[in-house]
Amino acid sequence: MKVVVTGVQGQLGYDLAKQLVAGNHEVFATGRNELDITDEVAVHAFIEEVKPDAIIHSAAYTNVDKAEEDEETAYKVNALGAKYLAQAAAKVGAKLVYVSTDYVFNGTATEPYEPEQETDPLGVYGKTKLAGEEFVQQSLNEFFIVRTAWVYGINGHNFVKTMLRLGEERGEVGVVADQVGSPTYTVDLAAFIIELVQSEKYGIYHASNEGVCSWYEFAEEIFKQAGMNVKVNPLTTDQFPRPAARPSYSVLSKKKNVEQGLTPLRDWKEALSAYLVELNG
């Protein structure tokens, strides 16, 4: 397959490109320097020149707090970028995977969110990602939308790296205990997306590692597996105010993946342990 990957400097884009290359696919890995996804003319010209079989769109404006004060940029990247890529995909007959987020939900649920459940984003990041989803659906009859949550990988900043650094520096950390979700290792997420894009099983999917925890429990497990003696103090969301509201419940249902015969992502603790090995490699 000839595949364009956007956001190759990001955690997911990096692993997508790496795995696609390992699978002998022809990969056009793009970052901001290679392709400005907010430039409609540039997007169309690039996709028409490459004529890919598939586009995996993982580039995003992911700074949730900054998005609150810079809505214009977040919208250009998350919504218009998806629109231009979807329209270009339609023109050349390429499959498109749009990577979305748990932030399209308000987080008030008490059981895992199904892909077809009603969306209700709390802030700018979620709203702009949802707008991207809507543009994809308007532009293409067949598409893949993959929502994920709590992502971490080797390339870039993430919660695991932050905890390891703070644990080392301070020996004690405070972590929010009233937000619940499923951590997602980009190696596993990339494998899921690559399997999906090679199928004809179009639609909206949820993908995260199996199991559920709070950020506090995630931190505890990180230190336990890393063999570090760090005191973790549970905080409430109110004790740790941030510009953007976070969904308190981000658990995504993967029932559809099983029904479609797709390979499930492994348990989050197992994934974390593989990541720590990769980090120390």
Q: Tens digits of per-residue pLDDT, 116-154?
A: 999 999 999 999 999 999 999 999 999 999 999 999 999
Residue 43 makes CB contacts below 8 A (sequence gap 6+) with 35, 36, 37, 81, 84, 85, 88
Tokens 């950020």 found at: 215
Classify residue 16: in a domain, yes or no: yes
Total domain count for the chain? 1
Tokens 């984003």 found at: 121
Domain extent for 114: 2-158+182-210+250-266
Q: Closest by alpha carbon to 81, among 122, 118, 11, 31?
A: 31
Of 61, 103, 125, 275, which one is the catalytic site residue? 125
Classify residue 27: in a domain, yes or no: yes
The pLDDT value given to residue 76: 98
Task: Indicate the pTM of the whole model.
Answer: 0.97
Q: Closest by alpha carbon to 189, among 172, 169, 209, 161?
A: 209
The pLDDT value given to residue 159: 98
Classify residue 194: in a domain, yes or no: yes
Active site residue 84: no
pLDDT in tens, 40-70: 999 999 999 999 999 999 999 999 999 999 9
Q: Output the six-digit token pair for 152.
A: 């971490």
Classify residue 280: in a domain, yes or no: no
Tokens 């459940």 found at: 117
Classify residue 240: in a domain, yes or no: no
Residue 102 pLDDT greater than 90, yes or no: yes
Residue 183 pLDDT greater than 90, yes or no: yes
The CATH code of the domain that includes 119 is 3.40.50.720
Classify residue 25: in a domain, yes or no: yes
pLDDT in tens, 198-242: 999 999 999 999 999 999 999 999 999 999 999 999 999 999 888
Classify residue 278: in a domain, yes or no: no
Classify residue 229: in a domain, yes or no: no
Amino acid at 239: Q
